[in-house]
Amino acid sequence: MKTAKPRIAIVEDDADQLHTIEEFLLDAGYPVWGAGSAEAFYRQFMVNPVDVVILDIGLPGEDGLAVATLLKDKPQVAVIILSARDSLGDRLSGLRSGADRYLIKPVNLLELAANIDAVGKRLAMHAGAGIDGKGQRAPEPSPAHWDLATQDWKLRSPGGTVLHLTTHEFALLNCLIRAQGSVVSKQELITQILGPRAQNGSERLNLLVTRLRKKASEALTEPLPLKTAHQLGYAFTAAARLSQDSRPV
């Protein structure tokens, strides 16, 4: 059975770097959110815990080493420090504070993803690989679908969590789910969602997808299977169905 991608938080005070990493990881299917300071991270972490924290050292207020030290007491959370500080002393300080990995900026984003997956496997092994509290292997979950309710514009994940959609978000998912896994071109989506004479249609579609991915990563327990086919369009790549009514939340 395919292992779910780890949930990720990015703690980075450089807004451009935060946006770049967040967009890459969302596009790759990771549930992810970002924070610009340690304090903002702590607040969000209380309500939206994660498996992996990508952590800059030079943060305003409390620095990244202090965050890593605090997270050391949470073995279910891995820390990847991502910093421009590249001296041996800095790297040793990061690892001694509890970080699992120490990467130097600028980092290749594919390398970052490989490190995330590596620490994610360690976390999965630590979790007991599906063993319950009585030492018995938990039963495999039955197959489930994503469900798009056409009456009240809600997307329900296989795990049962619900995402409330705007008009444009619903129209986008409706087009993609009807395509049953096939790629829908950007031009077709623009026409269906924004209209055939929409101005700046490509930019508006890209922004819609970005916001929907971010919204889903914060509300759902599973990654939204909305994939980019570069220079072509988008596809909803998981089993999904349309229904008239959603089940009670």
Q: Which domains does the chain have, with CATH numbers?
A: 8-126 (3.40.50.2300), 146-243 (1.10.10.10)
What is the per-residue pLDDT across 168-196, written as a single tens digit (0 to 9) for each? 999 999 999 988 888 899 998 998 888 87
Q: What percent of the chain has pLDDT over 90?
A: 51
Please tell me the predicted confidence (pLDDT) of residue 213: 93
Please tell me the predicted confidence (pLDDT) of residue 91: 87
Pairing of strands 162-164, 226-229: unpaired
pLDDT at 138 over 80: no
Q: What is the pTM of this model?
A: 0.57
What is the per-residue pLDDT across 207-239, written as a single tens digit (0 to 9) for each? 999 999 999 998 988 889 999 887 789 999 889
Residues with Cβ within 8 Å of 156's Cβ and at least 6 positions away in sequence, in order, are 146, 147, 148, 149, 162, 163, 246, 247
Please tell me the predicted confidence (pLDDT) of residue 229: 83
Rounded alpha-carbon distances, angstroms, from residue 44 to 9, 29, 48, 163, 167: 9, 20, 6, 18, 27
What is the per-residue pLDDT across 88-136, written as a single tens digit (0 to 9) for each? 888 888 888 888 899 999 899 999 999 999 888 877 776 654 444 344 4
Q: Are 233 and 185 in contact (CB under 8 A)?
A: yes
pLDDT at 244 over 90: no
Q: Are 120 and 100 in contact (CB under 8 A)?
A: no
Q: What percent of the chain has pLDDT over 70?
A: 89
Please tell me the predicted confidence (pLDDT) of residue 121: 81
Please tell me the predicted confidence (pLDDT) of residue 194: 86
